[in-house]
Amino acid sequence: MSSTPAPLPADPATELFTSRVLPFPREDVFRAWTDARQLCRWWGPNGFTCTFHEFEPRAGGNWRHVMHGPDGRNYDNTSVFRVVTPERIELAHVSEPRFDLIATFAEREGGTFVTFLQRFATAAVRDAVAPICIPANEQNLDRMARVIGDTLAARA
């Protein structure tokens, strides 16, 4: 991949936002995002699986994967990481539909406050994908919580 595209401009009309407190330390939530074995188990809506071809969770690193839908269709995805810190992950999803994803992880009493902000190029694109992305983002958080819980239980 040549370079990371410039961030899309902030505009509430182009954004989708999801948040939740997960009952796990921030370190474990961050690991669920940066450990390919864990991420592959929870990334995508219910019924989807993933195959990772490239995963470099660092600024400038690439993430290429295929999401396999329950209907047998495959969805190629290419992203470039901008920021990878225990508090924040930012990436540019450069395959269509183009969007920026900003995930934050804030320690809170009782767990970690996780946010997903997706910023699309236009309000029309946001509106077109919202019926899929809004429930899918909630399902991602559900699946991530299960994977973290299973991972921690296996370590105990």
pLDDT digits (tens, 9 = 90+) for 41-50: 999 999 999 9
pLDDT bucket at 10, cuts 50 / 70 / 90: very high
Residue 109 has pLDDT above 70, yes or no: yes
The number of distinct structural domains making up the chain is 1
Q: What are the C-alpha distances in Å from 6 to residues 91, 98, 111, 134, 135?
A: 11, 12, 33, 24, 27
Task: Give the separation between CA 156 and CA 68, rounded to whole angstroms.
Answer: 32
Does 146 fall in a domain? Answer: yes
- Whether this model's pTM surpasses 0.85: yes
State residue 156's pLDDT score: 86
The domain of 117 spans 15-46+84-155
Does 60 fall in a domain? Answer: no
Please, what is the average pLDDT of the chain? 96
Domain of residue 91, CATH code: 3.30.530.20
DSSP classification of residue 110 = T
Please return the burial class of 85, using the count of CB atoms within 10 Å of its CB with bins 0-12, 13-18 and 19+. Answer: exposed
Does 98 fall in a domain? Answer: yes
State residue 4's pLDDT score: 83
Does 115 fall in a domain? Answer: yes
State residue 105's pLDDT score: 98
The residues facing 75 across adjacent strands are 67
Nearest to 99 by CA among 128, 122, 76: 122
Residue 154 has pLDDT above 60, yes or no: yes
pLDDT in tens, 48-91: 999 999 999 999 999 999 999 999 999 999 999 999 999 999 99
Tell me how far apart the terminal alpha carbons of the chain are, to the nearest angstrom: 40
Does 57 fall in a domain? Answer: no
Does 135 fall in a domain? Answer: yes
Residue 2 has pLDDT above 60, yes or no: no
Does 3 fall in a domain? Answer: no
Residue 1 has pLDDT above 60, yes or no: no
Does 67 fall in a domain? Answer: no
